[in-house]
Amino acid sequence: MFSLINWFRFASPQTFYPLAGRMMPWFFGVAAGLAAAGLYIGFFVAPTDAQQGQVYRVIFIHVAASWLSMFIYLVMAGWAAIGLALNTRLSFMMARALAPTGAMFAFLSLWTGALWGKPTWGAWWVWDARLTSELILLFLYLGVMALQAAIDDPRRGDRAGALLAIIGAINVPIIYFSVIWWNTLHQGASVSVTRAPSMAKTMLWGMLLMSLACWMYSIAMCLARARCIMLEREKHTGWVAELAGGGR
Amino acid sequence: MNAFAAIIRRDLLLALRRKSDLAMTLFFFIMVASLFPLAIGPEAAQLRTIAPGVLWVAALLASMLSLPRLFEADYLDGSLEQLALSPQPLALIALAKILAHWLSSCVPLVVLAPLLALQYGLEPRAVWILCISLALGTPLLSLLGAIGAALTLGVRGGGVLVALLLMPLYVPVLIFGAGAVDADASGLGVGANLSLIGAMLAASLFLAPLGTASALRIALE
């Protein structure tokens, strides 16, 4: 019977903790496999770029990190919205668990971008619209994490961080377009960030595989972090005591 | 509506009774604006090009400096809880407090800005545009800032935290506000920038009090 399915069975930390523990190694394994395949294609199969030479190969991690940094912010805001709407504890824990991974990817994207920019454009950093908005995205992540960390009461910290994440998500398009217009108004740097639209098929495959690998890695990391948060928050409950006792 | 006016009146009165707080914000604005020429050099042409940006950043920081005062005193003495319990919607009360904050902390900055702009050697036309952009943009700073102030209510290290939370949200205001003078100087016309600030102001006039109210509820729980 459809109505007999308990949709909220895994919304409680007690049932989700073991489920997350079972899923985590799978996601880590798939991430490792996809990353190995993606790196193999990236380093050995994909042809050398006609204009940029070998240095373009940073694309395989750079693009994946950029995509994930934006995607994770949306997922985090989504969990935050679910948490505020349904008042589920686990949603806030997921939002909290996602933030550091998202910030890491935003930083990685900026760092690899700088490493790529120096040999191709001759500058570590240009005030291009995409770079600037990625930097602001990193600031948004840091703001959410700082707010969550500054509030001692975990419940209040969760809700305040969730509200900030949602406000940030509303603002992301505004920030993005304002930065684009700012850039065109100022005529920007003379270099163009837009790549040639045509791309060898193997390059695209490598990029896709690496993006999937990063995605799976994010899920695994999020589950691992959520497990720690669950144990910490629920340490007064019976099932955690049982778990801790059983492990001894 | 009565409550709305009463809260504005009360907050303005409280602000006027503590003149040193108001003066501090104003002096901060003046000092930041005066430090830039000392650091960059007295070359007139260079100062003229950076003036709109510097004055906007200084005004932004000064208004941010006064944000923790927005709800802090009421939170500490418990009157914020009474306000939240009153039959008036909390968002309306928040809007009144935001308006009072703008009148007491930001309007003096807008009034003072032309004087500092003259120090930087801006043309009269540019001074006017700068003032209009500040007059339109500073309410937006207060509205967005109120959300940050409400989120960090009673949190240790609140002042620095507010800055960290609000910087990304202030980016569009800063870009369009400071860009208005440049847009006029380069012949693009100032209409687009001012319209965009106006649009953001209209949207956040509705949304920001709601966000502030829910942030206050979280803080008061």
Residues B7-33: tens digit of each pLDDT:
999 999 998 898 888 889 999 999 999
- Cβ contacts of A174 on chain B, cutoff 8 Å: 172, 200
**Which residues have CB under 8 Å from B177's CB, separation 6+?**
B56, B133, B134, B136, B137, B193, B197
User: What is the rounded average pLDDT of the residues B196-204?
Assistant: 93
- Cβ contacts of A142 on chain B, cutoff 8 Å: 164
User: What is the rounded average pLDDT of the residues B73-82?
Assistant: 89
> Which DSSP state fits A195?
P
B103: how many CB neighbours lie within 10 A of its CB?
Answer: 16
- Residue showing tokens 């903790």: A17
Q: Do B221 and A150 touch (CB under 8 A)?
A: no
Predicted pLDDT of residue A143:
93
Predicted pLDDT of residue A247:
52
**Contact in structure between B104 and B11 (CB atoms under 8 Å):** yes
Among the listed residues A127, A143, A236, A44, the one whose alpha carbon sits nearest the alpha carbon of residue B161: A143
User: What is the rounded average pLDDT of the residues B141-166?
Assistant: 89
User: What is the rounded average pLDDT of the residues A28-34?
Assistant: 93
- Cβ contacts of A160 on chain B, cutoff 8 Å: 151, 215, 218-219
Rounded Cα distance, B86 and B71, in Å: 16
Predicted pLDDT of residue A189:
44
User: What is the rounded average pLDDT of the residues B211-220?
Assistant: 92
**Contact in structure between A70 and A137 (CB atoms under 8 Å):** yes
What SS3 class is residue A53? Answer: strand
- At B77, list the tokens: 């003495």
Q: Do A185 and B152 touch (CB under 8 A)?
A: no
Name the residue facing B151 among A160, A170, A186 (closest C-beta): A160
Best mutation target, B164, B201, B210, to test chain A (most A CBs within 10 A) = B164
> Which DSSP state fits B41?
-
Please say if the pLDDT value at position B93 is more than 90: yes
Per-residue pLDDT reduced to its tens digit, A192-215 = 455 554 567 788 888 899 999 999
Please say if the pLDDT value at position B168 is more than 80: yes
**Contact in structure between A95 and A161 (CB atoms under 8 Å):** yes
User: What is the rounded average pLDDT of the residues A107-130?
Assistant: 86
Rounded Cα distance, A237 and B4, in Å: 47
Q: How far is CA A74 from CA A5, A77, A218, B48, in A?
A: 28, 5, 13, 41
Mean pLDDT score of chain B, rounded to an integer?
90
Nearest CA in chain A to B148: A164
Predicted pLDDT of residue B156:
79
Name the residue facing A150 among B147, B157, B200 (closest C-beta): B157
> Which DSSP state fits A49?
B
Q: Do A150 and B164 touch (CB under 8 A)?
A: no
User: What is the rounded average pLDDT of the residues B194-202?
Assistant: 92
**Which residues have CB under 8 Å from B182's CB, separation 6+?**
A185, A186, B52
What percent of chain A shows pLDDT beyond 90? 40
Instruction: Tell me phi and psi for residue A53, to 5 degrees.
Output: 75, -145
Lowest mean pLDDT across A138-142, A244-248, B59-63, B115-119: A244-248
Per-residue pLDDT reduced to its tens digit, A152-195 = 888 889 999 999 999 999 888 888 888 777 776 554 444 445 55
Residues of A within an 8 Å Cβ radius of B = 136-137, 139-140, 142-143, 146-147, 150-151, 155-156, 159-160, 163-164, 167-168, 170-171, 174-175, 178-179, 181-182, 185-186
Please say if the pLDDT value at position A50 is more than 90: no
Residue B40's pLDDT band, with cuts at 50, 70 and 90, is confident
Cα end-to-end span (Å), chain B: 26
Q: Do A140 and B156 touch (CB under 8 A)?
A: no
Q: Do B155 and A164 touch (CB under 8 A)?
A: no
Please say if the pLDDT value at position A72 is more than 50: yes
- Cβ contacts of B218 on chain A, cutoff 8 Å: 156, 159-160, 163
Q: Do A179 and B182 touch (CB under 8 A)?
A: no
**Per-position b or e across A168-190, b if 16+ CB within 10 A of its CB:** bbebbebbbebbbbbbebeebee
- At A177, list the tokens: 């377009």
What percent of chain A shows pLDDT beyond 70? 89
Residue A245's pLDDT band, with cuts at 50, 70 and 90, is confident
What ipTM was predicted for this assembly? 0.87
Q: What is the pTM of this model?
A: 0.88
B149: how many CB neighbours lie within 10 A of its CB?
Answer: 30
Please say if the pLDDT value at position A112 is more than 70: yes
Residues of B within an 8 Å Cβ radius of A = 147, 151-152, 155-157, 161, 164-165, 167-169, 171-172, 175-176, 179, 182-183, 186, 188, 196, 200, 207, 211, 214-215, 218-219, 221
Per-residue pLDDT reduced to its tens digit, B118-145 = 888 888 888 999 999 999 999 999 999 9
Among the listed residues B132, B96, B94, the one whose alpha carbon sits nearest the alpha carbon of residue B113: B132
A236 or B107, which is more confident: B107
Q: What stretches of chain A show up as alpha helix (H) in DSSP?
A: 13-40, 59-86, 89-121, 129-150, 154-185, 201-233, 238-247
Domain ranges of chain A: 16-188+198-240
- Residue showing tokens 């902390």: B105
